[in-house]
Structures are given as C-alpha cells and as structure tokens.
Amino acid sequence: MKLPAFFIAHGSPLLVLEDNDYTRFLQRLGSDLGKPRGIVIFSAHWDSPEQLITVDAQHETQHDFYGFPEEMYQLNYPAPGDPALSSRISELFKDHNLPHQPVLSRGLDHGAWVILSKMFPQADIPVVALSVDSLRSPEEQYSIGRMLAPLRDEGILLIGSGGLVHNLRLLKQKDQPEQWALDFDGWIAERLEAWDLPSLYAYEKQAPHVREAVPTYGKEHFIPLFYVMGAADEGRQAQLMIQAYQYGTLSLNCWMLD
C-alpha cells in the first residue's frame, strides 16, 4: 500500500510529556497508519550542506536541548535503524547524481524522536534520519524529496519534522495565536492546497509576516515541508490534518501529502 508523506510540527521538546489535542492527534495518526516497514525522517535539527544519511543498526537518543526538567534527559526512544533501507536511499540518490554521505552513531535528535514517541511509542519501527540543507533553494529541496518518492510504494513512511511558524524569540505566555502567525499559516495553507509551487518557492518574498514566522536564523524548521512535498509530487494533494498553537507563535500542524 502506498503511504502518504507528512509534514509534522514537533513544537517544544516538552511535547513528549504533554497530553493535549495535538499529542492525542499524533497518537491517533500513528495508530491509523499501522506499522510501516520503515520511517524516513527529515529533521530540522540536522542542517548540513552535505546530504547525510544515518546508517546505524540501532539508534541512541539525543537530548539536544537545555534548561528542561530533569526527567526529559532520562527519556529514551530506542528505535532500530535499517542499514538496508539506508543503502536503498543511497541508491536513489546515486541514480540522481546527488552527493551524499553515510553517518554512524549520530542518534535521533528531538525533532525525530519527540513526534515518533507519540506516534509509535513501542519504538519498534526502523528509522533512517536524513539531514536538510537550509542553504539550498526550495526547488532543490523539493527535488531531493522527489528522489525518494518510490519508497512510498515500498511501505516506507516519509516525514518532514519542523515548524511552519517557529520563532523562539517571539514566544508568548499564552497559547492564543498571534494574528500574524494565523495570517502566515493561512497563506501557506491556501497555496499548499492549490499546490502552487511558484508561490511557495517564493515564500520569502510573498508570504505575509515571513520574517516573524520564518526568521533568517530558523529557516531549517520550515524547509522540511519542501522535501516531503517533493515525495508527493505525483499526486500533489495536500490536506491539513490539525492546526494548533503553543506560546502564541509556535505552530503545531500536520499536513498529509499524497
């Protein structure tokens, strides 16, 4: 069965401890998807000018954050890797002449394991993590995702983990969203549903409040969207599954791309 691709916001690392509408949605989504043969995830927290691929047989858990409750640093998500799947990805990249490198012993960063721990708490599905490159053009990012489209027919779930509105310098002590965040998410939603690639590629010039929503120091959280859109290029259907906010300016959304 061909699996959809997803863009999933990972929010704050505290999401892993929370019980709210968004975390319950992630739990239902994982249950509805069943047990994919494997998961390939582009994480905003692995930004590299080279395309990198984990090749571990077993992942460690990165606690790549600071200032959080001590219990956060005791949490583990011991998902296996899949060297064969890593090799399959390498073959697809080679077929399209994309330079790439294997990486051992990196572990899964919180952009990956926080959402996966909600969706697949048993940590028994193999995971291969891929880096993103915030300096590439949206067209290039989309093209890389399109290289991986065949995996969707092979029982592999493709996820881009990030945040469409993600500016940690503008967080508020409330969950009611700021109007500018709503305006930006609304603009993205209209163009995603129309699969308006020219406008989306030009989001930095066209989207309202783009500097607040996607600050220059935080583009890596937005760009996983383009990678997973590329993986869904054949169907070009986008459906918003949930939209929520934390701290006024932290967008929690999930887009299904098929």
Residues of the chain with pLDDT under 70: none
CA of 234: how far to CAs of 5, 66, 107, in Å?
Answer: 12, 41, 32
The SS3 assignment for 106 reads coil
Question: Domains in the chain: how many in total?
Answer: 1
pLDDT tens digits, one per residue of 161-216: 999 999 888 888 887 899 999 999 999 999 999 999 999 999 999 999 999 999 98
- Residue 61: CA count within 13 A, CB half-sphere: 17
* Total-model pTM: 0.97
CA distance 100 to 91: 10
User: How many CB atoms within 10 Å of residue 243?
Assistant: 18
Q: How far apart (Å, rounded) are the C-alpha atoms in residues 110 and 76?
A: 10
Tokens (6 digits) for 142: 């989309």
Q: Is 183 exposed, middle or buried (0-12, 13-18, 19+ CB in 10 A)?
A: middle
Give me the pLDDT at residue 205, please.
Answer: 97
Please, are residues 142 and 229 in contact by the beta-carbon 8 Å criterion?
A: yes
CATH number of the CATH domain containing 212: 3.40.830.10
A 10 A CB-CB count for 215 gives: 16
Burial-class residue 100 by CB neighbours within 10 Å (0-12, 13-18, 19+): middle
Give the pLDDT of residue 1: 81
Token pair recorded at residue 111? 């952009």
Which position has the token pair 């989309």?
Answer: 142
pLDDT recorded at residue 173: 83
Q: What is the mean pLDDT of the chain?
A: 96
Range of the domain at 235: 5-257
Residue 128 confidence (pLDDT): 98
Closest CA to 86 of 134, 38, 152: 38
Maximum Cα interatomic distance, the chain, rounded to a whole number of Å: 49
Helix (H, G, I), strand (E, B) or coil at 245: strand
Neighbour tally for 165: CB within 10 Å: 29
